[in-house]
Structure 1
């Protein structure tokens, strides 16, 4: 009986320990061009590094100018473990300014995840006019992205509390069962 109970407690502990990690969607932890980086040469490849390993299929990356909201190109990226990349098409004629790398991936947890990073292209001898205005006009979208990230974090925190509460209830139930079994054994003797 004690071996079965120990096995149940161990299984419950493992389930509780792994549950919060499974709730988290993958997020960008690094990028090339870097997040909010200013580059003097326009990239030939866009690379996003995620906190988990996105699943293949239904993944998209799009590059757009922030000041005009013009999508320059989009396509299905290559997924190599945590690295999600796409080549910038030849013949693209980029202008100095701020750019957005938008993405939609299937997170390692199976959920669709959307987001973006930004960089500024400023070749030598050029100036980025209207960068502040572009950032202001894009502020609503950046705010929405942050609100979405905050909402996901709140949901994850809520799930952690649910799992902790379930763990306490489970452990409490096991303690009561053990005490009841012990009481029955004492009454038999």
Structure 2
């Protein structure tokens, strides 16, 4: 009876130890296999920049593995991928350079990334940002100034009315003159015919 109790106690102790180890493994497993995440960089979500960046650097929570890493920038208005390339790895920081033939200008953009995490799994993510250089505002101001100049050079309604009235008077005299000439011509023709009749 005593031996059975001792055996049962040992069995329960071993079972508790195994269960404890299993629980510890379960708690530690997510930490060991956690994917690398973006924790900072030259751009962050919702940034509004004065100009499009020449370089984009993203810092990750661990050092990604080399190979199968890709960064891309998309124009959110059109959905067009402006450029895509493999980033350079410097410890936890990955960097791409904007191609020289690209000059995106103002607009809303999405920076997307796909990397191979330190645990070997693929990690994807995106960061949206905008570029507002203020050139559009300057253009609007120039347009307003141009409109002001045009308005200064434009005639007032009174001036236009006076010109129209003067033109109307001139047209009246011109038409009157044409009418007089027409009447004279008709009279001349009639007079010529009458002379012809008288001669007969």
Q: Which moved more, 1:18-27 or 1:46-55?
A: 18-27
Match of 1:112 in 2: 122
Residue 86 in structure 1 maps to residue 96 in structure 2: yes
Residues 15-94 of structure 1 aligned to structure 2 (within 5 Å): 15=25, 18-94=28-104
Q: Structure 1 length as normaliser, TM-score?
A: 0.57
Q: Report what 2:191 is aligned to.
A: none
**Could you tell me how far 1:82 is from its partner in structure 2?**
1.2
> Residues 69-97 of structure 1, C-alpha deviation per residue, up to 9 Å, x if partnerless?
11111011011111111111112121311
Equivalenced residue count is 123
Output the CA distance in 2 between the equivalents of 1:62 and 1:20.
29
Structure 1 segments, 4+ long, off by >6 Å, are: 8-14
How high is the TM-score relative to the length of structure 2?
A: 0.54
Counterpart Cα distance in 1 of 2:106 and 2:50: 9
CA distance in 1, matches of 2:90, 2:27: 28
* Structure that is richer in helix per residue: 2
Q: What residue ranges of structure 1 are gaps of 5+ in the alignment?
A: 1-7, 128-189
Tell me how far apart the structure 2 counterparts of residues 20 and 71 of structure 1 sit (CA, whole Å). Answer: 34
Query: SS of the counterpart of 2:104?
Result: coil
Which is bigger in relative contact order (C-alpha 8 A, separation at least 6)?
Answer: 1
Note if contact 2:52-2:105 (Cα within 8 Å) is conserved in structure 1. no
The structure with the larger Rg is: 2
**Secondary structure of residue in 1 paired with 2:136:** coil
> By how many angstroms is 1:29 displaced?
1.2
1:24 aligns to what SS in structure 2? coil
Two-structure CA RMSD over aligned residues (Å) = 2.5
